[in-house]
Structure 1
Amino acid sequence: MSVLLEVSGIEGGYGGGRVLNGVTLGIDRGEILALIGRNGVGKTTLMRALIGLVPLGAGSIRLDGDEVGHDKPYSRAQKGIGYVPQGREIFGALTVAENLQVGAQANRARAAEMKEKVVGYFPVLKAKLQQKAATMSGGEQQQLAIARALISAPRILLLDEPSEGIQPSIVDLIGETLLKIAKETGIGVLLVEQDMGMVESIATRCCVMDKGRIVDTLSPAQLADEELIRQYLAL
């Protein structure tokens, strides 16, 4: 495997306050890298910095060797960074098909091909293409949010708390689908997640974040150590 996303010493925050204090990590092709930590340690800020919604004060973000750390969010999407925010943020007044069309704007050339692929990964969407997104269940909306990010054929997919508010069976389904997508396409996945069952079942590695930096990287075997995980997630 070769490094797909390389994050080196990035700093950033909001309104002059610094939240990220030198984050460094790398994600390989086909890898699902989980990111865990207590609330408020900077996980969502990191995701927003990677997609370009939080400006960098220092450091670099390289995608396939190209520096993207100061590109606009739309440019990063065009270059291959897909983002599924916490809370999904789908367009409830639009249909499923229209939500997918919005996602396809970053890579229109592959829209038709990718639409077939994403509804193949999430077949529940195929029967609901003309349904308003707001009328779908939370699990269906989450699958739509992931499909909307995937339809632009990203090279890296950022997922912020995809299990939030979703029944366990759908969490398992989403996890299995992410594994399949990473294996078949070589896409890299960065997963911020509190559901340790999901992390343990799909992550290749797991980075632990505290006070705006990565403080440890855990192997799959270490993820099964409940006492170790409890220490890292203790309030």
Structure 2
Amino acid sequence: MSALLDIDAAESGYGGGRVLNGVSLRIREGEILALIGRNGVGKTTLLRTLIGLVPLAAGSIRLDGREVGHDKPYARARQGIGYVPQGREIFGALTVAENLQAGAQANRGRAAAMRDKVTGYFPVLKAKLQHKAGTMSGGEQQQLAIARALIGAPKILLLDEPSEGIQPSIVGLIGETLLKIARETGVGVLLVEQDMGMVESMATRCCVMDKGRIVDTLTRGQLADEALIRQHLAL
């Protein structure tokens, strides 16, 4: 099966310094690929490079066969990359409905149908469409952030630490929902996550990152090997 997202030898960084040093990975339709590693090894930089917030210095990023590595962030969103940043970054002063409307700008033609679809996946949002997003719990805000990215009908969804600051029961609910979404819609997911329980329950494969490179790829079976995971996270 061909890759939905194909990253080849990607390099990027900040202020002339390199953080990514030749990252290559591929995500297929309906696949959830986890990315783990110590803090500061380039995981968030990779996501920000994929969405266009950090310029690609070398290499290529192809989405469904099309090179997007030098497109503007809004153009990548329209091409089919959805992004949920660390810390959620929802619009707290806007209602849930208005947050979803903002996300729908990436694909306005499908906005109405997609709103029904994403609120079906996250029923708490349907019940709170007219509530100010800033009044909701952290778990509800995370569900809104994911729904806001999904309403644009992306081909690839980038998630940066979705479990951060959320109680375990809601983390489990979000994980189950993302699995269902990947199965039913075929969206590919790139998940940066430190909660290994979430990674183990969701990921099809898991890439290990160190010093701006992918240094290993683990199967689902290997994710249950605690000694191996400890070794990688202590690189």
TM-score in same-fold range (> 0.5): yes
Aligned to 1:72: 72
**Partner Cα distance (1:183, 1:57) in 2:** 34
Deviation per residue, 1:75-119 (Å, 9 max, x gap): 000000000000000000000000000000011000000000000
Instruction: Please give the residue correspondences for 1:191-230 in structure 2 after superposition, counting only pairs within 5 Å.
Output: 191-230=191-230
After superposition, the CA RMSD in angstroms is 0.6
Letter in 2 for 1:15: G
Aligned to 1:100: 100
Aligned to 1:60: 60
**Partner Cα distance (1:20, 1:200) in 2:** 25
Question: C-alpha displacement at 1:233, in angstroms?
Answer: 1.0
Aligned to 2:7: 7
**Partner Cα distance (1:192, 1:113) in 2:** 29
Question: C-alpha displacement at 1:2, in angstroms?
Answer: 2.6
Aligned to 1:46: 46
Letter in 2 for 1:27: I
**Partner Cα distance (2:99, 2:232) in 1:** 37
Letter in 1 for 2:13: G
Letter in 2 for 1:114: M
Aligned to 2:160: 160
**Partner Cα distance (1:106, 1:158) in 2:** 15
TM-score, with length taken from structure 1 = 0.99
The runs of 5 or more residues in structure 2 that have no matched partner are none
Letter in 1 for 2:20: L
Question: C-alpha displacement at 1:137, in angstroms?
Answer: 0.1
Deviation per residue, 1:147-184 (Å, 9 max, x gap): 00000000000000000000000000000000000000
Q: Secondary structure at the match of 1:9?
A: strand
Deviation per residue, 1:161-220 (Å, 9 max, x gap): 000000000000000000000000000000000000000001000000000010000000
Q: Secondary structure at the match of 1:54?
A: coil
**Partner Cα distance (1:169, 1:2) in 2:** 35
**Partner Cα distance (1:108, 1:27) in 2:** 26
Letter in 1 for 2:192: V
Aligned to 1:171: 171
Letter in 2 for 1:72: K
Letter in 2 for 1:149: A
**Partner Cα distance (2:126, 2:227) in 1:** 42
Q: Secondary structure at the match of 1:128?
A: coil
The runs of 5 or more residues in structure 1 that have no matched partner are none
**Partner Cα distance (1:21, 1:159) in 2:** 21
Aligned to 1:87: 87
**Partner Cα distance (2:69, 2:57) in 1:** 10
Letter in 1 for 2:63: L
Aligned to 1:28: 28
**Partner Cα distance (1:65, 1:78) in 2:** 15
Letter in 1 for 2:201: S
Moved over 3 A (4+): none
**Partner Cα distance (2:171, 2:227) in 1:** 24
Letter in 2 for 1:102: A
Instruction: Please give the residue correspondences for 1:136-147 in structure 2 after superposition, counting only pairs within 5 Å.
Output: 136-147=136-147
Q: Secondary structure at the match of 1:60?
A: strand
Letter in 1 for 2:210: D
How many residue pairs get matched? 235
Question: C-alpha displacement at 1:35, in angstroms?
Answer: 0.2
**Partner Cα distance (2:138, 2:231) in 1:** 31
